[in-house]
Amino acid sequence: MTSGAGTTPAPRSGGLHLAAAVDARGLEVDLAVRPGEVVALLGPNGAGKSTALGLVAGLLRPDRGRVVLDDDVLADAGDDGRTRTWVAPHRRRTALLAQDPLLFGHLTALDNAAFAPRARGAGRTAARAGAARWLERVGAGSLADRRPAQLSGGQAQRVALARALAAEPRLLLLDEPLAALDVAAAPALRQLLREVLRADGRSALLVTHDPLDVLALADRAVVVDGGRVVEEGPAAEVLAAPRTPFPARLAGLGRLRGTAARGGLVLPSGRVLPGALAPGCRQGEPAAAAVPPSALALAPPGSPGDLALDVVAVEPRGEVVRLRGADDGAWPGPAVDVPLAQAAARGVVPGRREAVVVTGAAGVLVRPAR
Amino acid sequence: MRGARPARPASTGAELPRWVLVPAAVGALLVLLPLVALVARVPWAELPALLTSESSRAALALSLRTASAATALCVLLGVPMALVLARTALPGLHVLRSLVLLPLVLPPVVGGLALLYAFGRRGLLGGQLEALGVSVAFTTAAVVLAQTFVALPFLVVSLEGALRTAGRRHEEVAAVLGAGPWTVLRRVTLPVVLPGLVSGAVLSFARALGEFGATLTFAGSLQGTTRTLPLEVYLQRETDPDAAVALALLLVVVAAAVVVAVRGRPAL
């Protein structure tokens, strides 16, 4: 949130600067998207992710703060909510691709893709020619004459992407673009998004609940919780060594507690989980690390193991059964994958305490824990 | 429950008490019997002559002209009203919505009287209109005005429902894609709600075509000028029942066509 009396000067670095509050949604965020950067916006349902997109698109007015895109002030409500600047959505040069393709049902795929150029005053022929190129680009060239009702979910989302790109947006707003697609269609569209975003050096703000989307598409991740930005960093780093519970849960990591030491995290058993200490984490102090289930295994019967896991859930996952430990406050507890045969032989049920040993996870990041 | 018969929703389970069928059948008969009686009275042999008599043709032409004009007026005024009702948050909207619905429940005679006191020679605006050299009451324009008054709610209610069902998400996407308010309205909102608009217009046309009370009160019954089909039917009922029945049949056919055209639409 910007502070000080009245209007603060706009940052002069291009890209998106969103520092605004919407009181009715309990949102007060401060985030940036640099030119050519893809930022994943993560957070639990109701955290304010879509509200943030709405602020950028111009579908919502901020109660305070400002929205700046490529040095243009799109919205400025100052610190007192008195709107000083308001640019209508259609003059912002952004484009929105949501979970639902929201194609215009009365237009063909081609005319859907030609919508934005037409709306900006291009002639029908020129707009259609450009639209046809975008449909080709997203692999929907053969669908040009179809109506949205004749398209599958994946095809419709391709056409919606072509429609968004044809608007030549300065910033692409992606609101869970793959969430509604079936498992067969999602990977192809993810790959397409990756190509389109990377090849053309586009700026995008991507809301997603899928860690694969974050890793494949985003440069940076911003975590919003309770209407505030609680964590941000390089996408891979946020998912591998999360500072806050939400990305840990998203990445399937569980929290292990222990004591910080030179070589990593000392578990209650004395075993050291190898890793590096995060800045501000001092040896000998309580600490924690987030580890994937693949780093843990059940201890041999009779052995005390490195830690005890109170099983709260048993989830079959193909060849393994995942035993989930109890949450540690807001953090997900550790989980361990047990081969089916072993699970069947031992009998795994929620409510039992299992001994677990550390088998892998080289290089976790050890953070201070209070 | 996988049998040869396609499963119907709610086919079994909670069954209705059987006696409900009796009053339901009586109700259906109440609607059907008069229509059957009317059709039975139609002098089929003389039908072409009756329908093409001078007074019949005059009434028919006038009815088609005025009902079409009233429908156009309903669309012109009703579309903006429905848009305001469905898409804005102006204060007092619920009052406006109730006002729009009023002609739907108001006795048409009362509507005609109200129109007379508004636009008649001694009415609220009568003086101003007269100064402009315009006299509305007892003219064809009065017929159109009366029909619009009673038919407008059908269009507004139908279209407002369609607008609410359609939601705003397509409009928002269009705006973000660079479409200004007028482009969004023209290229997204109206095409999306077109079925609702058409069914509203058809209902308005039917209501305008059948208008009787307000027309008689506000516009009178002058052949070729204000005597529409329903008025002609009422007039002929005494003097030439066969002609009345023939014209009534025409109105039944139009009404049936409207029901078929609108059936299956969610509006109203």
Complex prediction ipTM: 0.85
Cα–Cα distance for residue pair A233/A243, rounded to 1 Å: 10
* β-sheet bridge partners, residue A225: A228
> Is the CB of residue A49 less than 8 Å from the CB of residue A224?
yes
Q: How far apart are CA A224 and CA B107, in angstroms?
A: 59
Token readout for A195 is 């190509």
- B170 to chain A: which residues are within 8 Å by CB? 102, 104
Distance from CA of A150 to the nearest CA of B (A): 17
Q: 0.95 exceeded by the pTM?
A: no
Q: Is residue A330 a contact partner of residue A245, using CB atoms and an 8 Å limit?
A: yes
- Domains of chain B, first to last: 45-263 (1.10.3720.10)
Of A59, A104, A167, the CB nearest to B172: A59
| Contact state of B172 with A89 under an 8 Å Cβ cutoff | yes
Q: Does B176 contact A at CB distance below 8 Å?
A: yes
SS3 content of chain B, % helix, strand, coil (to 5): 75, 0, 25
Size of interface A-B (CB pairs under 8 A): 68
- A168 vs A189: CA distance, rounded Å: 19
Distance (Å, whole) CA A104 – CA A131: 15
Cβ pair A192, A178 in contact under 8 A: no
d(CA B29, CA B108): 27
The nearest CA of chain B is from the CA of A56 a distance in Å of 10
Max Cα–Cα distance, chain A, nearest Å = 78
How are beta strands A204-207 and A353-358 bridged, if at all?
unpaired
Query: From the centroid of its chain, how far is CA B181?
Result: 30
Residue B242 CB burial class (10 angstroms; 0-12, 13-18, ≥19): middle
Q: Name every residue whose Cβ is closer than 8 Å to that of residue A38 and which is 6 or more positions away in sequence.
A: A197, A202, A203, A204, A206, A217, A218, A219, A220
Pairwise CB contact (< 8 Å): A115 & B170:
no
pLDDT tens track, chain B, 268 positions = 344 444 455 555 678 899 999 999 999 999 999 999 999 999 999 999 999 998 889 999 999 999 999 999 999 999 999 999 999 988 888 898 899 889 999 999 999 999 999 998 888 888 888 888 888 888 999 999 999 999 999 999 999 999 999 999 999 999 999 999 999 999 999 999 999 999 999 999 999 999 999 999 999 999 889 999 999 999 999 899 999 999 999 999 888 888 888 875 544 4
- In A, minimum Cα distance to B189 occurs at A104
Task: Verify whether the Cβ–Cβ distance A104 to B172 is below 8 Å.
Answer: no
| B173: nearest CA partner in chain A | A96
CB contact under 8 A, A94 and B194: no
